[in-house]
Every structure is written in C-alpha cells, then in structure tokens.
Structure 1
Amino acid sequence: MLYLTSDKFSVFIPFGVIGFYRYLWYLIRLLASFAYRPVPLPENPTYIASEDVTIIVPTIDAGEEFKEAAHSWLVGKPKEIIIITEEKMKGPLQELADSVDPERIRVLTVPYANKRLQMSHGIKNTTTDIIVFADDDAIWPPSLLPYVLACFEDQRVGGVGTSQRVQAVGKQMTVWEVLAAFRLTIRNIEISSSTHIDGGVCCLSGRTAAYRTIILKDPEFLHGFTHDYWLGKYQLNSGDDKFLTRWMVSHGWTTYIQCCKEAEILSTMKPNWRFLKQVLRWTRNTWRSDIRSLFTERHIWTAHPYVAYTMVDKLFNPFTLLVGPCLVAVVVYKSTKPVEDGGYHLPWWNVILCYLVWLSATRTLKLLPHLWYQPSHIIYVPAFILFGYYFALMKIYAVLTLHETGWGTRAGIGDPAAATAAASSNPSDEKLHGDAQKYAESSARLPFQPTPHYTRQISMPDVGYSQ
C-alpha cells in the first residue's frame, strides 16, 4: 500500500473517503438486516384469509404462468381473486380463470389498459377488509397470507410488503435474470434493515403487497391515485406502488415488511435485454417519487428519517460511483508520463489491475448473501460490476427524461388521460365510487384510524370497535 501511495498520497484520498462512506453504511444495513425479525403468527388471529382477503390482479396479457401463480394464491384460501383487464381481453382471461377456479376468481374489465385504473376498479369491487395486490406471475409460498395478515394485528399498520426472489423463465437463468436476482438480494437487505431501524421502507413492491381496504376506498385516495401528474401535466400510469407507499406515510399509517422464507414470493423478470427497459421505468418512478417524498410532501423526514437518508443517498449515488473510474483514469494518465514531468512511477497496468481486483473483491463481498445459496453465480460478478456503471449512467439519463411516462415493456398500455376520462363517464363506475364512499364512512373495523390530513397523530372515532 505504501508503494502504491508513494507518489502523491492526496490523489488516493477521494478513493478512501468514498469507499469508507459506502461500505460503512453497507455494514450498518447488513447488521440491521441480521437484527431484523419478522412478525410472528398470532395465537388468535384477527384476520382470516377466507373472510378478510381479496386478491386484486391487474393484467392485460396473463398467460400460462398465471395458472401456477393463481394455484399458489388459492392455497392460502382467500375469499376472492379479482382479475381486472381491458374489455377486449375478457374472453381469454375468463377462460383462464375458469380453468383454475370459476367460483373464487372473477374477471372484471375497464375501457382501456391502464394499471391504476384497473387497480381502482378492483378496489371499488372489493368487500373484504384486506386487499392484496399481486402481479399475474407472482408465486406465493403456502404460508404467505397468514404471515402478511399477522402484521395487521397492529392496528396502526396500513400496508405490508414481502421479500422476493427471481424465478427463471426457462430451465436456467440468463445473465439478465441473475442480475435481477443480485438486485433483489440487495433490496431484501435494504428493506429489512430500514424496517428494523425506523419502521419505514422506500417502496412496498407492487409484485405483492397488502393494504387495509378502508384506506384505499377513501374517495380522496381513489381520485388522487387515478389523477396523479408529474409536474402537473404528465399523467402517471406506472409507479402505483410508490404512490401507495407515500400515501401510507403522508396519512399517518405505518408499514411493515415480512422479510422471511414463509412470506417470500417468486417472480419472473425479463430474461433478455428488455430487463434494462424495466429497470429504466423503475428508475424514473424512483426519481419522481423520492423527489416528491423529500422536497414536496416532506413527511418522510419526521416519520422515517433513516429512509429519508437512503433516498438522499440514492440521489448522489450515481455520481459517487462514477468518480471511481474517473480518478483511475487520471492516475493511469499520470502513470504514462515520466516522473520528471510530474508523472507517477506506477505502471498504468498496475493501477488498472489493482482497481479491478478491488472491484471484484468488494462486489463479491456485497453479493455474499446471494452467493451463499447460489455459488455458481459468482461467474456473473463481472457482469454485475459492468451493470453497476451502466445503471449509474442510466440513473442520470432517467432524471433528465422524467417527462417520459410510458410503460416501456408492454404493448397495448393505453393513454392514462383517455382511460381516466372513459372511467369517469362510466355510470356503473360512478355507482361503485358512491359505494366506496359509503364503505369508508360506515366501516368500524379499526379501534382507531390515523387522521387523513397529513399528520402522524391518532384520533379515536366515535363508532365502537366490533370484531
């Protein structure tokens, strides 16, 4: 080390500061993740899946993978599964639903393919106390519903998320799926650690998340959810899970992540380069949501300060990551010049080799929680390193193109404004909106509810608690 720094110590200080900062906080996350404990099953549960759970599945192109997913959901014995699709897809999806369970699966339609519109239509048609949103390819373990419902024993909890793993589309994972698996491993550590540290989470992933129906049937929520605009003019269709998570925070509800094998879902990812388009969409949603959380709504600062810190960290992360190769380039350039002309005595290949060894060692260390169970994936660590730098550039591109709100990976997704206008003019939908308001006004399931106008205080309602 002394040999490496003998030329000019100061040039290596930025490396040390950035590295110390990044890996100190990673160590904190890792320790918090180890200390985290999921909510155990209660002896006498308040909520029973067969009476209190409706699963809502917004989709437009569910295929055979839906059958495996639906069978896994039905093991938990929910009261009902509602599939929401566009009108032209009702026939094929009805056949698919009938082949699985015609009694417990309903297929409803909206005029245009629009995920938020589909979700809100499902909410209005729900009669149970808990709603679980699920992707059409999310495969659940048999114990998922009991473990998710256990979190709602705390009446302050409004939303519950789960941990995730990638399921290969084919017989073997492609490099794209392995990259997704690496990301999910890191995400599982992040969400479990933030839940342990201050009870918050950046996002309750829409692949599977549960909410109290009384929150979602609020007409204020339904309107805001389907009339969500970026900069006041770009209507959003994706980013629904980010909106839901922010709504929990801004309206005084707490959230929880059941990060355990009993509640860990399997989900497929794009097995080809289209995975990058997925990541770009997610990145834009993250930028838009985090900017709102930190600078517009600002409730996250007092409700979950650690989560607020992680959001700020993500704002600067792409720039700090790119500093590394820039500094290496400077040192390599200096190493090509004679010492008497101000160059460094280190050969340029020495610098590059040391940097590559450092990257390989630290990234492998970061992925150890995944490699412990999948050691064969160590050959993909170089791809993960390259993807990290690509992702940093993508984050910069994403923040410059936040006005682009298209889905990116699915054809047939309708214009959000047209879909919302069509739904608003639908008489039956207006009736359901009225029913939703009555539900919210008459529900007396909770002994207390957080007040809806952006406060963390808890108020006692006049109605009595009945079970």
Structure 2
Amino acid sequence: MPAEAKVWLAAFIALFVFRYLRTVVPIFTFNLYRPKRIRDKARYTSSDVTVVVPTTFKSETELMHCLRCIFACSPAEVLIVCSIANVPLIKQICSLKGFKQVEALKEVETEIVVFADDDVFWPGPQYIDYLLAVFEDEKTGAGGTRQRARRNPGFFTNVYNFLGISYLERRVWNNISTNAIDGSLSTLSGRTAAYLTAILQNEELYEWLERQNDDDKCLTRYVYSHGWNITIQSDPNAVLETNLEDNPKYISQCMRWARGHWRGNFTVMSQESYWCSSRYWWGLYVIYVGQFQSPALLIDGLLFGLLGGAMKGSDDTRFAFICLGAWIFFTKIVKLIPHFLRYPQDMMYIPVSIAFSYLHGFINIYALATQSNTHWGSQKIESLQPARAQNEEVVPLLRNAISEGEVFGAEMPGRMMMGRDYFSVSELAHLIEAYATLAAMAGSLRHGDGAELP
C-alpha cells in the first residue's frame, strides 16, 4: 500500500473508531446491565413518596389517566401544580379521585419526591417500588426509569408517531449505557424522576431554579455537583409510557429539546468540573465530546471520502464502500430493533428514520445558533394560562374526560412491558422473516391478487 494511502487509511480508522465506539460498546452494555431488584425489606416504600405533577392541562383525558396510574401506586401524597386559573378545575378532579391539594416542592413532607409529567402513564401498582429500588444504594440521590413513546392504536401508525418512538428508544439506549458504565447521564428526564427530598429542599436550589430555563438539566446538574449518584432503573416492569407530538409539531418539539441540550451542557461545562473528571470518563466522551459529532451527514460523508482515498486504485473500492454503507445502515437501526420486534410493520419507516437522523443533525446546528431562544415551540404558553373551563363547564368536561379515559384499557397507556426488551440471534431472524412476509404482502397487493394484511 502506498504511503499516501496509509495516511488516508489511518485517518479513516481514527475517525471511524471515534465516531462509532459509542455505538458498539452499548450493544454489550445494554445486554449485561442488570435491573435494580426490589428487596424484601426495602429502604423506602410508596408511603415515603410525594408525587408532584406539573400540568398545563393540555388534555384533561391524559391528565385523568395519568393520575389514575399514579394513584394506583399508593403514594403518600400527590401535589398538582398548574396555572392559578385552573386551580378550581384541578380541585374538582382531585376530589373525584381522593387527592389532597395543589401545592409545590416546599410542601413535601416525605423522604422521596417524584416529579411526573401530566402525560405519562405508569405501568402498574408496583412502579414506585421499582423506582425506589435505586435508592438502596445510599450514594444515590436521584433516579429514573426507562421510557417509551406510546404507539398510536391500529396496525399502522403515522410517521411523526414513529419518529417520536424512535427518539425515546435511542434516548433509553444512550442513558442506560452511559449510566451503567460510569454512572453518568446527560439529563434525568422529568417525565418521571425521583429525588431525595433532603437534596431539593434548600434555598440554594430554589435560587437555581429561578435562574434556569431547563428544570431537568438544572436538577441533574445540581445532584451531580453535590456529589450524589443518579441511577436508572432498567427493569422491564418499570417502563413508563408517554405521548409525544404525532404531527408536524414534533419538529418544533425536537428543536426545543436540542436547544435545551446545548444550553444545559454548556452551563455544566462552564460552571462545573464533574463532567470532565476521571469518574465520568465515558460520559465525557459520549455526552460532551460526542455532541460535536454533528451533523452526522458531514461525518459519514467524510468517512466515505477518507475510505476512497485509502482505496484509490484498488479493485476492492466498491466492496469497501458497500461494507461501510451496510455498517452505517446497521448503526441507524440497531437501537430500534426492540421496537421492530414488537411492531415489525413499522420497518416501512426505516428510510424515513434514516433521513430524519441526518436532518436532525442540521436541527442541532440551528439549535446551537439559536440556543438563547427559550420559546416552547410545540405549544403556545399564553394559550395554557387561561382557565380550561368555566364553572358551568367543569362537570361536563370531567364527565367527558372520565368516559374517554375508560378507553385506556390494558392494551393502551400504562400497560406493563412483557418479555425481553432486546434481541437475540433467533429474534433477529424472526424480525427478518416478518419483514420478508410484509414485503411479500406488499407485492401481492400491488399485483391485486387479493392478499390481506393481518
């Protein structure tokens, strides 16, 4: 091999390892990481928990079902935070379900406080027990569980719903791998997060929250900077479900997340030291160094350029390009394999998923340039401040919410995830077989031979 080609090859290998090491390692981490088990004599139980639910009252039906899931876990208290205009309506809901009052963090009297969004659905009455298992380690100050975006009912879903599902599947993958390796975490998601109350009930934190735009990032930073661990519960019995935007507003939602990501990380990097310590060496590489591997289209394009330089004049150039392309394709779908095992029909969106992953790189760049914009892109805050219903409208609204909430059965939000959540060789073969079956069905339909989908 000519000396020039060796230089190109060395540059290719260096960039390839730097780019994809954070993808290869989690494949093993995801399989080897073990959930935190519930002890017979647990350190904390649901009676030690206060759940705080901030709500914009975007959907009364979602809120009702969210509260049902929380109430089923029997926490000591549930505090609901909303705009002043909606307090009467919230009190009506709470009186129906036996909740106490609308208060805030300063009023918490239990040892554990759990923050939960108003559109999350816990899987069963033991959810809190699984969440509390992370605190068996006395060094743990906060913890969360795995998350899943709720898939719309029906055999097929829409593309925005699938993209939301993909987002959370990838996020869970990244969170579990970094947390398992060195305890690091980009952000402890506020969809549901548990904290030792003693950590949060102090004037220093209250001042932090008043100055920060991104509560989740702020709380994550605060816990780490004060020497506590954050632990993710990966047990399949503790996978919450949530609703993401399943319409074009999803793009605005991604923009808001991306801006918060840059703001939070830059705040940590400029004001804290834990992020670059030897303790969180893997998180340093994946979270803080890895954030600059964007846009992915540029990095992957550079890989092809370097490989072309290394293989110049070789008869195997085409084969090398095919191998690199196949590898990149694999890395784009590997984190979604658990979802495809559950819903093989969603493999029809693989091309869209890959295209969006490249588009998201440019969304990240734009978010970086506009990170000072704290606008809530997927919703208009001013529309959430007025009362959701006037006095005479409260009862009909609640009745409608209750009736709609009844459709949330065992197959809908809050269901427990069954079985393994990753894949084996046999399961991967089953996935390929299912894909082939769908392809055959599609071909039959095109030729009009009357084949029907299951």
Range into which the TM-score falls when normalised by the shorter chain: 0.7 to 0.9
Pair 249,414 (structure 1): closer, same or farther in 2 beyond 3 Å = farther
User: Does 1:304 pair with 2:280?
Assistant: yes
Using the TM superposition, give the Cα deviation of residue 357 of structure 1 relative to its aligned residue in structure 2, in angstroms. 5.4
Aligned partners of 1:177 and 1:270 also within 8 Å: yes
Rounded to whole Å, the distance in 2 between the matches of 1:288 and 1:186 is 21
Rounded to whole Å, the distance in 1 between the matches of 2:6 and 2:137 is 54
Q: Which moved more, 1:84-93 or 1:305-314?
A: 305-314
* Residue of structure 2 equivalent to 1:104: 99
The CA deviation string for residues 2-41 of structure 1, in whole angstroms up to 9 with x for no partner, is 9xx9x97876776554334333331111211211112111
User: Does 1:151 pair with 2:109?
Assistant: no
Aligned partners of 1:322 and 1:389 also within 8 Å: no
User: Does 1:165 pair with 2:148?
Assistant: yes
- Of residues 176, 199, 215 in structure 1, which corresponds to 2:199? 215
The CA deviation string for residues 158-184 of structure 1, in whole angstroms up to 9 with x for no partner, is 101110011135545321121122222
* Residue of structure 1 equivalent to 2:50: 54
Identity %, equivalent residues = 29
User: Does 1:95 pair with 2:92?
Assistant: yes
Rounded to whole Å, the distance in 2 between the matches of 1:363 and 1:40 is 32
User: Does 1:192 pair with 2:155?
Assistant: no
Rounded to whole Å, the distance in 2 between the matches of 1:67 and 1:58 is 13
The CA deviation string for residues 275-323 of structure 1, in whole angstroms up to 9 with x for no partner, is 1111111111111111222332122222422212212333321145423
User: Does 1:205 pair with 2:174?
Assistant: no
- Of residues 375, 378, 385 in structure 2, which corresponds to 1:409? 378
* Residue of structure 2 equivalent to 1:136: 118
Rounded to whole Å, the distance in 2 between the matches of 1:409 and 1:329 is 38
Counterpart secondary structure, 1:22: helix
User: Does 1:271 pair with 2:246?
Assistant: yes
Aligned length: 376
Aligned partners of 2:9 and 2:307 also within 8 Å: no
Counterpart secondary structure, 2:294: helix
Provide structure 1 residue ranges, at least 5 long, that are not aligned to the other structure: 109-121, 229-235, 335-342, 416-467
The 5 Å alignment of 1:322-337 reads: 322-325=298-301
2:134 partner amino acid: C
Using the TM superposition, give the Cα deviation of residue 63 of structure 1 relative to its aligned residue in structure 2, in angstroms. 1.4
Rounded to whole Å, the distance in 2 between the matches of 1:355 and 1:193 is 24
Across the aligned residues of Structure 1 and Structure 2, the Cα RMSD in angstroms comes to: 3.1
Counterpart secondary structure, 1:106: coil
* Residue of structure 2 equivalent to 1:29: 26
Provide structure 2 residue ranges, at least 5 long, that are not aligned to the other structure: 385-454
User: Does 1:66 pair with 2:59?
Assistant: no
Rounded to whole Å, the distance in 2 between the matches of 1:350 and 1:199 is 40
The CA deviation string for residues 311-347 of structure 1, in whole angstroms up to 9 with x for no partner, is 2333321145423346769999x9xxxxxxxx9999x
Q: Which moved more, 1:349-358 or 1:393-402?
A: 349-358
2:121 partner amino acid: I
- Of residues 328, 332, 338 in structure 2, which corresponds to 1:369? 338
Counterpart secondary structure, 2:136: coil
* Residue of structure 1 equivalent to 2:107: 125
Indicate the structure whose relative CO is greater, using CA pairs within 8 Å and at least 6 residues apart: 2
Rounded to whole Å, the distance in 2 between the matches of 1:35 and 1:311 is 21
Q: Which moved more, 1:295-304 or 1:127-136?
A: 295-304
Rounded to whole Å, the distance in 1 between the matches of 2:91 and 2:276 is 46
The CA deviation string for residues 198-238 of structure 1, in whole angstroms up to 9 with x for no partner, is 1221111010000011111111111111122xxxxxxx2xx
Counterpart secondary structure, 1:128: coil
Using the TM superposition, give the Cα deviation of residue 48 of structure 1 relative to its aligned residue in structure 2, in angstroms. 2.0
Counterpart secondary structure, 2:102: strand
Q: Which moved more, 1:386-395 or 1:285-294?
A: 285-294
Rounded to whole Å, the distance in 2 between the matches of 1:161 and 1:129 is 16
* Residue of structure 2 equivalent to 1:313: 289
Pair 409,147 (structure 1): closer, same or farther in 2 beyond 3 Å = same
User: Does 1:261 pair with 2:258?
Assistant: no
Aligned partners of 1:54 and 1:131 also within 8 Å: yes
Counterpart secondary structure, 2:137: coil
User: Does 1:382 pair with 2:351?
Assistant: yes
Q: TM-score with structure 1 length normalisation?
A: 0.73
Counterpart secondary structure, 1:367: helix
